[in-house]
Structures are given as C-alpha cells and as structure tokens.
Amino acid sequence: MDIGKNLKRSALLLLVMTVLCGGVYTLAVTGVAQLFFPGQANGSIIKEDGQAVGSELIGQNFTDPGYFWGRPSATSGHPYNAMSGAGSNKAVTGDEAAARVRQWLDFWKEADPGNTAPVPVELVTASGSGLDPHISPAAAQYQANRVARARGLSLDEVNKLIQTHTEGRFLWVFGEERINVLRLNMALDSLAAQ
C-alpha cells in the first residue's frame, strides 16, 4: 500500500468534488433559478418606480392609521427583523399568552375605539416566523373603517381595494385567502395619488 499514491488520489478527489459540488452545481442551480424564477431567486423584491420598497415574503411595521397593519411580529430588536425571524418559543397557553393577547386586544381597541367587531385572531397572535407579510380578508375588513377615515376615502373604495388584493388558496385547495399588506398599502398610496 502506497500512502503517497493514496494521498494524491484523495487530494485530487477532494479538489474535483469541491469544484463539482461547490462550483458547477451551485452555478447550475443559480442559473436555472435566475432563468425560470428570477423574482423568487432575488428575494421576491417589490419595486416602485425602480426602487425596492420591500419583499413579498417579509412583513413591514406600518403604524400610520392610514395604512393597514399586519400581524404582531415576534422578532427581537425591532418588528419584522428578518435577521431574527424564527419561532418565538413562547407558549400559546397560560397566563403569559393570555396577557399578550389582552395587550394586543387593547391595542386594536385603542386604535379604533368605535369598532365593535371581534378582532380577528391573527391580529392578536404572531406567526411562526414573526415575519408574516399577509393578513386575512377578515383582518383587512376589521381595519377598513379606520383606514378609510384616516385617508378621507369612502368605505366602498377601501373595500374594493381589499377585494382586488385578496389572493386565493394555493392550487384552490391549500392554505387560506390572504392579502399582502405591503401591496395593499401601495395600492392605497396609488389611489391617493390619483
């Protein structure tokens, strides 16, 4: 058994596999992704007038009453911090969870005191990642009066935007109807600009 010969073969095999798996494969997958799925491969970035304004996959912290607001974010540092997006590991039952829900219920009631409708559950609970960019049509409807008042729009105009921006279930079966909050708020800004 020649140790020198085996070391040369091993080194050559390591070099070949590194080039194949680390270089050729990576370039091929990246090329296919750029060719067939360029938007997704580049982060699903939403642009307005050539400027990136956000991603379809990460929520944003809207606080102005004239905008729709997303789900509570469970990320640390600041809301919708993609660097710390992960499950919060907080219990969904017990006193701490009940206190969080009460805090969010109070927040929503304070934001629109005249609204007596029940607060949709996703507006008082964070998603698994804490970055969810979507709300349900019910959550958008809950906020419609506040947004219409703040923007000086009719409720019908706001409801039409909600309807237009409601995305259906994936393959008509999976998931629930949802609305991308950033896209809906961009449509509100476009309506105001007209």
pTM value is 0.80
14: pLDDT strictly greater than 90? yes
Half-sphere exposure of 15 (CA within 13 A, CB side): 6
Q: For residue 126, what pLDDT is reported?
A: 83
Which residues face 180 on adjacent strands?
134
The residue ranking higher by pLDDT, 20 or 76, is 20
| DSSP assignment of 28-71 | HHHHHHHHH-HHHHTT-EEEETTEEEEETTB-----STTS---P
- Answer for the pair 47, 55: CB distance below 8 angstroms, yes or no: no
pLDDT digits (tens, 9 = 90+) for 82-107: 777 666 566 667 788 888 889 999 99
Closest CA to 70 of 160, 179, 144, 172: 179
- Which of the residue ranges 123-132, 137-146, 165-174 has the most confident prediction, judged by mean pLDDT? 137-146
Query: What are 190's two structure tokens?
Result: 């476009």
Closest CA to 132 of 175, 82, 186, 169: 82
Distance separating alpha carbons of residues 130 and 88, to the nearest angstrom: 8
> What is the SS3 assignment for 178?
strand
